[in-house]
Amino acid sequence: MNLPMFTWSCVVALIMVFMLFKVVLFVWAKSVENRLFELGNEYDEFYVPGDSLEDED
Amino acid sequence: MLLQILQDALFAAIAAIGFSAISNPPKRAYFYCALLAAVGHSLRFVLMQAPGIGWHIIVASVVAAFIIGVLAVFLSPKVKTPAETCLFPALLPMIPGIYAYKSFGGLAMSILAIGEESFNHYFYLFAYNGLTCLFILIGMVTGATIPIFLFKNISFRATR
Amino acid sequence: MDSTSYSVTSKELCLFLSRYAVFLLGCGATCIRLEKNVRRMAHAFGKDVELTIMPRHVHMTVYGKDKNEMFTSIDTVLHTAISFDINTRLSELSWEVADRKIGFFEAKERFESIISSRSGNRWVVLLLVSLANASFCRLFGGDWVAMLMVGIATLAGFYLKQQLLRRGFDARVTVFFCAFLSSVLGATCALYGWGTTPDIAIGTSVLYLVPGIPFLNSFSDMIYSHYICAFSRFVDALILTGCLSVGLCCGMLLMNIGMF
């Protein structure tokens, strides 16, 4: 493969990889927003006096 | 010829809208930038290419810039922007970008050249492209600024 | 308190006008516009002002009538993106102050809201610039294939420019990489033998990087005798064009295409 073709292929490949990366990130971010199942905190369900609440200093 | 002129005007208008978008003009100025660029660039095209006229690019650019300047000064109170907000983006399609980087290319090649003849050739290209670019720019800005001087009261009160 | 009747001190006015000046200069206004706007506002508040406009600093003295009180400040010019929108709105503000429509405190508030306003949609600008450069290719005689390749090259190059500048990269390095990228993509026509005008495609693929407004501003300053600012802006623009040329040359060298 000659130099011009090699250079062009490298540049285009980098662009493709970058676009793929952006698409994957975008799709992953979307899927994180609409989770069906999620790990929660037991304090969301049960409150025991003496537990520290997030909004108390 | 008319078709070529209209085509030139259309593409100059699109180019002006796009390049002016880089410098964030007010939204109401886009249309006027496009209009001024279309008029100016097609006028320069006519002055350079029309049979019987055939002016040099520098002279044609000065005249075209002057006409753009006059139009910009009279349109600026309607658009409520300073004259240069519509004027400078409209001049962008006429900026001699190719001359600019060809002159740098010529300079680089002349430094790397071996032998007097080769050096002279590339130095000529550097000087020719560089001087043409410089004088087109000076001519354009001078041509565009003269109307601002002439119609001082209008141009510096446009945003009032 | 009715701010239009408030008697502003030289110090308050100087600090405000100094900040106004550096923002106006930073967003790409010419020196003459800055001078006129600042003088107009100073006279509206019954003061006089003298400015020294340097490439990276503005040196301002505001003094009351009879020069009994005066205040001097030096401020650094900010490197913000060129924005004719902010330029226009700051000029409008100066007229509103001059016409006594607003007072000092309201002027300060309006100023702060103007300079913190966000610029337009990035994606729209990207699309418009790509179309513009493709049109430019047509203006230089390129065919439709060349226009398409130039549009794609500009899309990639301008996107890279937006991303690098957002991350605080130096403008010169940015221009170099963008020129290289655009020239390699623009050389696709020459590489695969598409279309009839591959040379024009390469030549026009980098034109969106040419610093047109700085060149125009520098000559405009020269006409109004602000030679130091004119020279400084000219050298800035020249260096950016130099970086563009180096990027283009590297691209053309690797793609085995001669410039002459």
ipTM entry: 0.87
Query: Taking 50 as the threshold, does the pLDDT of residue B65 lie above it?
Result: yes
**pLDDT band with cut points at 50, 70 and 90 for residue B160:** low
Contact residues, chain C, for B15 at CB < 8 Å:
132-133, 135-136, 139
d(CA C36, CA C56): 19
Q: Are C28 and C84 in contact (CB under 8 A)?
A: yes
- C84 and C192 co-located in one domain: no
**pLDDT band with cut points at 50, 70 and 90 for residue B157:** low
pLDDT of residue A56: 52
- Of C61, C82, C115, the domain-final residue: C115
Contact residues, chain C, for A4 at CB < 8 Å:
187, 191, 254-257
Query: Taking 70 as the threshold, does the pLDDT of residue B156 lie above it?
Result: no
Is residue C48 situated within a structural domain?
A: yes
What mean pLDDT comes out for the span B145-154? 82
Number of domains in chain A: 1
**pLDDT band with cut points at 50, 70 and 90 for residue B155:** low
Q: Which long-range contacts (CB under 8 A, 24 or more apart) does C101-110 make?
A: C102/C3, C102/C4, C103/C2, C103/C3, C103/C4, C103/C5, C103/C6, C104/C3, C104/C6, C104/C8, C104/C12, C104/C13, C104/C16, C104/C45, C105/C1, C105/C3, C105/C6, C106/C3, C107/C16, C107/C41, C108/C16
pLDDT of residue A36: 62
- C134 and C50 co-located in one domain: no
C-alpha distance from B125 to closest chain C C-alpha (Å): 9
Contact residues, chain B, for C207 at CB < 8 Å:
97-98
Is residue A21 situated within a structural domain?
A: yes
Sign of dihedral through CA atoms B92, B94, B96, B97? positive
Q: Is A57 exposed, middle or buried (0-12, 13-18, 19+ CB in 10 A)?
A: exposed
Is chain C in touch with chain A: ≥3 Cβ pairs within 8 A? yes
Task: Measure the CA angle with vertex C218, ends B28 and B143; round to 5°.
Answer: 70
Number of domains in chain C: 2
CB contact under 8 A, A8 and C256: no
- C111 and C223 co-located in one domain: no
Q: Which two three-digit tokens encode residue C119?
A: 């610029």
Is residue C103 situated within a structural domain?
A: yes
Q: Are C259 and C252 in contact (CB under 8 A)?
A: yes
Residue of chain C whose Cα is closest to the Cα of B158: C92
Contacting partners of chain A (3+ CB pairs under 8 A): C
Q: Which two three-digit tokens encode residue B154?
A: 């209008």
Is residue C260 situated within a structural domain?
A: no
The residue range of the domain holding A27 is 3-44
Terminal Cα-to-Cα distance of chain C (whole angstroms): 70
Residue of chain A whose Cα is closest to the Cα of C189: A8
Domain ranges of chain B: 2-155
Q: Is A9 on the interface with C (CB under 8 A)?
A: no
Residues of chain B with pLDDT > 70: what percent?
Answer: 96
Q: What is the mean pLDDT of each run of 10 residues along chain C (260 residues)?
A: 66 92 90 92 90 91 84 89 87 88 87 84 91 93 92 95 90 95 93 89 92 90 91 93 92 82
Residue found by looking up tokens 């709105």 in the block:
C89
- C109 and C201 co-located in one domain: no
Is residue C259 situated within a structural domain?
A: no
Is residue A56 situated within a structural domain?
A: no
pLDDT, tens digit, 9 for 90 and up, residues A4-57: 999 999 999 999 999 999 889 888 887 776 666 667 777 777 777 777 766 554
Contact residues, chain C, for B17 at CB < 8 Å:
128, 131-132
Q: Are C179 and C198 in contact (CB under 8 A)?
A: no
d(CA B126, CA B120): 10
Q: Is A15 on the interface with C (CB under 8 A)?
A: yes
User: What does the CA dihedral C15, C17, C19, C23 come to, rounded to 10 degrees?
Assistant: 180
- C105 and C190 co-located in one domain: no
Q: Which long-range contacts (CB under 8 A, 24 or more apart) does C158-162 make?
A: C158/C126, C158/C129, C158/C130, C158/C208, C159/C126, C161/C209, C162/C122, C162/C126
Contacting partners of chain C (3+ CB pairs under 8 A): A, B
- C20 and C91 co-located in one domain: yes
Q: Is C260 exposed, middle or buried (0-12, 13-18, 19+ CB in 10 A)?
A: exposed
pLDDT of residue C174: 95
pLDDT of residue C4: 57
The residue range of the domain holding C139 is 122-254
Residue of chain C whose Cα is closest to the Cα of B93: C136
pLDDT, tens digit, 9 for 90 and up, residues B93-132: 999 888 988 899 899 888 888 899 999 999 999 999 999 9
Residue B39 or A2, more confident: B39
Closest partner CB to A11 (pick from C184, C256, C257): C184
